[in-house]
Structure 1
Amino acid sequence: MKKKLAMLATVSLMLCLSGCGTTTGSRSGSGALMGAVGGAAIGSLSGSAGTGALIGAGAGAVGGYLYDQHQKGHID
């Protein structure tokens, strides 16, 4: 139960901080870093922290890039 609560708190914190940065690179980088941490945390519960970190980093980088493009008005 404590692991699930810690994972939920970590993911919630990462979602709150995912918009940090003002440039495309910093938003994509922070998204990738937070995604890697979250993916590792989730992956460790299933026994594959490395795979979870890689998937989380990719998803976080794409998410950070899309958020940046939305903030700049390039996508709706």
Structure 2
Amino acid sequence: MTTVEVEYCVPCGFLSRAEDVQHALLTTFGEDLEAVTLRTGDDGVFRVRVDDAVVFDKSEDAYDVDEIVREVREYV
């Protein structure tokens, strides 16, 4: 089963973004995912990993929930 981790910057207020991604992934893939976990971070981080592979990093990509879901789909 696939595990997804969403790491987000707490001081930046990215919790709502992290929750949006978590909700979209659970709604889209449901029982095909073992877990979608939220991990706190800082320094502006917003990163999504699937089984340790980074599929989204705010420092490199524009934030788009639908695109993140498409990237995760390749692993599910």
TM-score under structure 2 length normalisation: 0.31
**Structure with the larger strand share:** 2
**Structure with the larger helix share:** 1
Which structure has the higher relative contact order (CA within 8 Å, separation 6+)? 2
Please say which structure displays the higher CA radius of gyration.
1
TM-score under structure 1 length normalisation: 0.31
